[in-house]
Structure 1
Amino acid sequence: MPGGAKMSHEVPVESPVEIRAESICDVGATLGEGPIWIARDAALWFVDIKAPCVHRFDPATGTLDTWEAPDQVGWIIPADDGGFLAGVRGALHRFDPATGAFDQIAVVHAETPGNRLNDAARDPTGRVWFGTMDNAESEDTGHVYHWHDGELTKTDIPPVAITNGPAISPDGRTLYAVDTLGKRIDAYPIDAAGTVGEPRPFLTIGPDDGHPDGAICDSEGGVWVGFFGGWAARRFAPDGTCTDIVRFPVANITKITLGGPDGRTAYATTAAKGLDDEALAAQPLAGNLFTFRVAVPGVPVEPITL
């Protein structure tokens, strides 16, 4: 489909593979997010933004460990010293799981105190891309940044209220920027210096499919997207064709990651945020961690240097 694909019931697509996710850990997160498979300890790490806290889930034992964060924590990326780079409210921090300490590294958006950091990804060069958002989810004050070798850069991607992703293609040459409230995803070329070029439309989300939330790319360049209020996660080929649909027994799917020994075990975070008492009663697994298997493995997340 030229210029990207529209995900709508009016537009025919090839018959996607349908999968059902299963709850694997009773978390009950208000806003589970940022799942990331860390090969060095064969475990899944993720956050509950609103708790706020960082979780580590060991699938071999079923153990869930938790660290309290000093403020709303959107994501963590592993570092080569055994710690993590963490996006906490309006700043980058180093998180040390051995001590539980969060130490501020850089302030991101002092000019917009109502914003918070929301989602992130590492590219093949070690550059960390992340977005900010209006914590009130209304004003177009969310920007996309990258951080590399101690230098923070704001990109020219137009601001939106809620940024998500960004997802980075396996070759590091394409960035998929999610406009959650605008219900669209655009693809931006990236050069070697980390400069983004002119975008092309990738997806426009239909009215009945929820809002696009976190996004990642797998090893074939497929784009996995969680749908908040959509009861599903979906995989899209680089041309925008939907290839896989994963159904959930909960409405708010925030993001998935691919890991495990062969990179083909998917883990998905979900959220209870925004559900009233009736909805929570109908969705007792809301906020839990889910899993399913996929055909195409993920891209291992290599540690960055802090």
Structure 2
Amino acid sequence: MTEVRTVWRGAATLGEGPAWDPARGVLWFVDIKQQRVHRYDPRGGDVASWDAPAQIGWVLPAAAGTLLAGLQTGLARFDPESGAFAHLADVEPDLPGNRLNDATVAADGTVYFGSMDDGESAATGRVHRWDGAQVTTTAIEPVAITNGPGISPDGTTLYHVDTVGGVIHAVVLNSDGTVGAAREFATIDPADGHPDGVTVDSGGNVWVGLWGGWRARCYAPDGSIRQEVKLPAANVTKIALGGPDLRTAFATTARKDLDDAALADQPDAGGLFAFEVEVPGQPLPPVRLA
């Protein structure tokens, strides 16, 4: 049995977007519904927090000490020193009912990120690309809730999650940043939960949080189940691999959709958890900003 530690009992409504910052040696994550940015420092266990101006799906380390933030109102530069958010780009201004949900960074600093219907029903969620200057929409088919994406170590595969459909797709990632053919990488039985965010380790294994499944699951590159780790919270949203050797898995969770009886059974729901893994993660490149 893998030992799971509760490292923060913050009762996030919708904890999401964990991202290990190798330069600072800290973990960034967010609470989408409470519109908060959190920074966890494992050296002392401290958590610092900032208010965001809108629902926030993620923050990712960029150059010069700032971060790129995915807000419902678009992409913004976030400065943790001042707490200020500076708008950079609109995303789907014609879809005010959408919000941003999850993201990852390619080796060249390009960001791939998804949107979703905030009502979680309309198939209006798309996967977009930010090259440091502008947002373009990929050819990936729209779904109600996008999650991931994650990128393989060789940079040729983008893993994209259709949460409502219960499928992780493997999409060809071309050298020019565009996407090609897609195939089903893994299908999750609803009895096991719904696939949420994904992270790809240095061995090409795909970690996914299972919403309603009480677990994180690791798939081998061939799509077979390699490992499962049970957590003391039902709604596991995403795994980030960090720590000095990138072998500590951090799991964000959520209290959203849990009634009083469920919360009594899982008092640490909405917290941040950690456990150790054998295969280290991939270092997160800094986001490219123009």
Normalised by the length of structure 2, the TM-score is 0.98
Alignment of 1:258-273 (within 5 A): 258-273=241-256
Structure 1 residue aligned with 2:113: 130
Distance 2:162 2:288 in 1: 29
| Superposed displacement of residue 115, structure 1 | 0.0
Matched, 1:93 2:79: no
Distance 2:92 2:224 in 1: 36
Normalised by the length of structure 1, the TM-score is 0.93
Report the identity percentage: 55
Distance 1:235 1:208 in 2: 17
Alignment of 1:234-253 (within 5 A): 234-253=217-236
Structure 1 residue aligned with 2:10: 27
| Superposed displacement of residue 187, structure 1 | 0.5
Distance 1:76 1:278 in 2: 32
Q: Deviations over 1:208-259 (max 9, x none)?
A: 1110000010001100000000000011011001111010111000001011
Query: What amino acid sits opposite 2:108 in the alignment?
Result: T
Distance 1:159 1:302 in 2: 27
- RMSD in angstroms over aligned alpha carbons? 0.9
Distance 1:177 1:304 in 2: 19
Structure 2 residue aligned with 1:300: 283
What residue ranges of structure 1 are gaps of 5+ in the alignment? 1-17
Structure 2 residue aligned with 1:189: 172
Query: What amino acid sits opposite 2:79 in the alignment?
Result: D
Matched, 1:143 2:126: yes
Contact 2:108 2:285 in 1 (8 A): no
Contact 1:20 1:247 in 2 (8 A): no
Alignment of 1:154-193 (within 5 A): 154-193=137-176
Structure 2 residue aligned with 1:15: none
Aligned residue for 2:221, secondary structure, equals coil
Contact 1:90 1:115 in 2 (8 A): no
* One of 270, 273, 276 as aligned partner of 2:259: 276
Q: Deviations over 1:113-150 (max 9, x none)?
A: 10000000001121100000000000000000000030
Contact 2:163 2:196 in 1 (8 A): yes
| Superposed displacement of residue 207, structure 1 | 2.6
Structure 1 residue aligned with 2:203: 220
Q: Deviations over 1:156-211 (max 9, x none)?
A: 10100000001111111100110000000111111111111111110111131110
Count of matched residue positions in the alignment of Structure 1 and Structure 2: 289
Aligned residue for 1:208, secondary structure, equals helix
Alignment of 1:8-87 (within 5 A): 18-87=1-70
Distance 1:55 1:207 in 2: 30
Structure 1 residue aligned with 2:193: 210
Contact 2:101 2:114 in 1 (8 A): yes
| Superposed displacement of residue 20, structure 1 | 4.2
Distance 2:31 2:286 in 1: 22
Distance 2:287 2:121 in 1: 33
Query: What amino acid sits opposite 1:250 in the alignment?
Result: A
Contact 1:20 1:248 in 2 (8 A): no
Q: Deviations over 1:36-81 (max 9, x none)?
A: 1112211111000011110011111111100000010001111111
| Superposed displacement of residue 305, structure 1 | 2.7
Distance 2:10 2:39 in 1: 11
Distance 2:132 2:61 in 1: 15
Query: What amino acid sits opposite 1:301 in the alignment?
Result: L
Distance 1:150 1:73 in 2: 20
* One of 83, 94, 106 as aligned partner of 1:111: 94
- Runs (4+) of structure 1 exceeding 6 A deviation are none
Q: Deviations over 1:76-116 (max 9, x none)?
A: 11111100000001300000000000111000101111000
